[in-house]
């Protein structure tokens, strides 16, 4: 099969973005956008669709198995992991590939997602006491530990911006683990932070649920944490 990838590029954050088209041919049944990007970069000489030579495409990857979140980008308009999107399943004539739009671009498809870590620092997302797991809490603890910090949910969320006070699902999931694990008396500060940075800003449309590549049960975690951080207070 032959695919045309249309990639939004820029040499640095300061440079002007431009589109470049590449042709990628493969007979690998499971070939993904990540397979295509690797193969293009592995060519002795990288040329675009018109045969002009160009620089290698800057992008990030790691596991190639949707476990590390490194390769998040916007593919045919939707945020996704490049290693999780099969070329054959994309119906588009041209496959557009862009960097995530909510974060500052470093180069080509690499964006700076440091804000995710900074937000979790602001929330004070850590344990303030020993919090051994138990069989009964395990389901939620496990689900909440699976977040890849990929940022796909933030890309789609109408309420998230890097400057805003609302931190989105990428902060909700890790905070849920801690809220659930900690004894109630220890989690006061965390509950407050959760209310301010997660609960208050979320419109609950759950658009984020549909793009989460880890398939995290966002609704279940939200219900769990809202109960812990909000509702119990009024009882």
Point out which residues bind ligand FES (CB under 6 A): 34, 61-64, 66-71, 81-83
Residues 6+ apart with CB under 8 A from 8: 17, 18, 19, 96, 97, 98, 99, 108, 109
List the interface residues with another protein, window 48-67 (CB under 8 A): 56-65, 67
Does 120 sit near ligand SF4 (CB under 6 A)?
Answer: no
Return the residue of 68, 76, 90, 230 that touches another protein, per CB under 8 A: 68
Q: Which is nearer to another protein, 62 or 164 (CB)?
A: 62
CA gap 177, 84 in Å, rounded: 26
Report the candidate in 149, 175, 143, 170 with the shortest Cα–Cα distance to residue 159.
Answer: 170
User: Which entry of ligand SF4, ligand FES, another protein, none binds 99, CB below 5 to 8 A by partner kind?
Assistant: none
Return the residue of 173, 179, 182, 190 that touches ligand SF4, per CB under 6 A: 173
Return the residue of 49, 207, 223, 227 that touches ligand SF4, per CB under 6 A: 207
Return the residue of 70, 198, 216, 218 that touches another protein, per CB under 8 A: 70
Q: Which is nearer to another protein, 104 or 164 (CB)?
A: 104
Does 69 sit near another protein (CB under 8 A)?
Answer: yes
Q: Which is nearer to another protein, 64 or 90 (CB)?
A: 64
User: Which entry of another protein, ligand SF4, ligand FES, none binds 81, CB below 5 to 8 A by partner kind?
Assistant: ligand FES
CA gap 221, 10 in Å, rounded: 38
Report the candidate in 213, 198, 96, 114 with the shortest Cα–Cα distance to residue 156.
Answer: 213
Strand (E) or helix (H) holding 121: helix 114-123
CA gap 122, 149 in Å, rounded: 16
**89 to 108: interface string for ligand SF4, x by CB under 6 A:** --------------------
How many positions of this chain bind another protein (CB under 8 A)? Answer: 58
Does 212 sit near ligand SF4 (CB under 6 A)?
Answer: yes
The dihedral formed by the CA atoms of 70, 75, 80 and 84, expressed in degrees to the nearest 10: -80
Does 15 sit near another protein (CB under 8 A)?
Answer: no
CA atoms within 13 A on the CB side of 124: 14
For residue 80, CA distances in Å to 3, 22, 121, 128, 212 come to: 18, 20, 25, 34, 8
């Amino acid at each position: 099969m032959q695919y045309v990838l249309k990639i939004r590029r820029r040499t640095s954050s300061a440079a002007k973005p431009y589109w470049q088209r590449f042709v990628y041919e493969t007979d690998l049944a499971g070939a993904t956008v990540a397979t295509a990007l690797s193969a293009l970069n592995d060519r002795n000489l990288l040329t675009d669709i018109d045969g002009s030579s160009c620089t290698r495409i800057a992008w990030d990857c790691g596991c190639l198995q949707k476990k590390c979140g490194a390769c998040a980008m916007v593919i045919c308009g939707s945020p996704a992991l490049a290693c999780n999107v099969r070329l054959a399943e994309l119906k588009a004539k041209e496959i557009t590939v862009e960097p995530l739009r909510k974060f500052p671009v470093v180069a080509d498809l690499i964006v700076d997602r440091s804000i995710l870590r900074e937000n979790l620092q602001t929330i004070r997302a850590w344990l303030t006491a020993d919090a051994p797991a138990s069989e009964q809490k395990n389901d939620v603890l496990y689900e909440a530990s699976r977040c890849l910090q990929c940022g796909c949910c933030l890309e789609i969320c109408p309420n998230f911006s890097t400057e805003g006070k609302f931190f989105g699902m990428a902060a909700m999931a890790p905070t849920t683990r801690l809220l659930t694990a900690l004894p109630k008396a220890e989690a006061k500060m965390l509950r407050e932070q959760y209310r301010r940075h997660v609960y208050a800003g979320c419109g609950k449309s759950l658009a984020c649920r549909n793009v989460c590549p880890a398939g995290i049960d966002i609704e279940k975690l939200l219900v769990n944490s809202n109960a812990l951080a909000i509702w119990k207070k009024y009882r």
